[in-house]
Amino acid sequence: MESTATLKKIKIKTGVLTRNVKEYKGYNTEVFKLTEKLEALKLESDDAGKIRQTEEVLAESMAMLPNCKSRIQASIDDLEANMVGIEGQEETEEVVNAEKALAEAKAFLETI
């Protein structure tokens, strides 16, 4: 019973890690698009309100990036801690997926 609970925890933690990486990528894409939009607005528009609003949204998105990065690191640490007691279960789908997600997340974390 304990091993089933451990595998379930690992599956959940893997999903959390994957979601956090995806969320960071989403915010990063949003920052890129908003930066382009802001530059275009500054060149083409005289609407100061629209420019200011876009700047505020951009600032909020940029503020989320460090938060997401720290959540990715926390998710990595949490998943690694939960994988300590998995002797004899290394070939289960949950463990294989967790190891893959850990490797991808660590590689991604090094690039940001």
Residues 12 and 100: beta-carbon distance below 8 Å: no
The CATH number of whichever domain residue 7 belongs to comes to: 1.20.58.90
Q: What's the pLDDT band for 1 if we cut at 50, 70, 90?
A: very low
Domains in the chain: how many in total? 1
Q: What is the pLDDT of residues 37-74, one digit of tens each?
A: 999 999 988 888 999 999 999 999 999 999 999 999 99
Place of tokens 């660590």: 106
- For the entire predicted model, the pTM comes to 0.88
**Which helix H or strand E contains 78, and what residues bound it?**
helix 48-82
Residues 26 and 111: beta-carbon distance below 8 Å: no
Mean pLDDT is lowest, of 9-13, 28-32, 44-48, 56-60, for 44-48
Domain hosting residue 43, numbered range:
2-111
